[in-house]
A = this chain, B = another copy of it.
Amino acid sequence: MAQVHASQAFQAASALRHASEASVTAFCGSPASVQFLPPETEIFAQGECCGKLYRVEFGAVRVYRLLSDGRRQISAFHLTGEIFGFETDTVHQFFAETLCSTGISTLRLTSARNDMASELLPLALKSLVRTQQHLLVLGRQNALERIAAFLLDMSERQGDLQPIELPMSRIDMADYLGLTIETVSRALSRLKKSGVILMPSLRSVEIVKLQTLQSMAG
């Protein structure tokens, strides 16, 4: 029930913010082909053959890589309206899974890929810039700064509607921010105690002192 509410919030937000991604013709032409996936469902796995792009119609997705010893780095979360699945190789280098109940529509990339390149390039560049921004966070910011930046990013992507609905667990947040779950939890507790945020439930955060949070994120 809580998840349904979250999904609706994401959808409302995406209508405002992700118009450009939604305008890719091949996706709009076939709204009937939306796949409904339960939480924690694999969308694709490393080593699988690839040749599709994916659009989140509602819900949320994590894309990640693994080290041989099991350490995981989530390279991106994708919320409603966002497109993912870009890869260079013929084989996936990443894993993609749903976080919650999620609707996914797919775009087959066959030989028509060249025709669509002018539409896809801006999307790929958006992913690139977002990833580069995240590099700065992982390379040069401490735990509190990472959490602050993460909350601000999630807030913005949900249209700055308060409270923020977090579709992911603490483990996912940790593996995205290059921290442990304990450190994530401690950082959130500090923000809560200092009155910067409220946490009405485990997965919802309300930003109280926006400017303080922004100055923390750098």
Number of interface residues of A (CB under 8 A): 42
**Contact (A126, B88) CB under 8 Å given A132-B65, A138-B135:** yes
Give bound CA distance, A64 to B138, whole Å.
14
Cβ B86 vs Cβ A128 within 8 A: yes
> Which chain B residues lie closer than 8 Å to A120 at the CB level?
117, 121
Give bound CA distance, A118 to B178, whole Å.
34
Cβ B86 vs Cβ A136 within 8 A: no
Chain multiplicity (copies): 2
**Contact (A68, B218) CB under 8 Å given A73-B139, A135-B135:** yes
In the complex, 15 of the A-B residue pairs with CB atoms within 8 angstroms, ordered by the A residue number, are: A73-B140, A87-B125, A88-B122, A93-B129, A93-B132, A94-B132, A113-B118, A117-B117, A117-B118, A121-B121, A124-B128, A134-B135, A135-B135, A135-B138, A138-B139
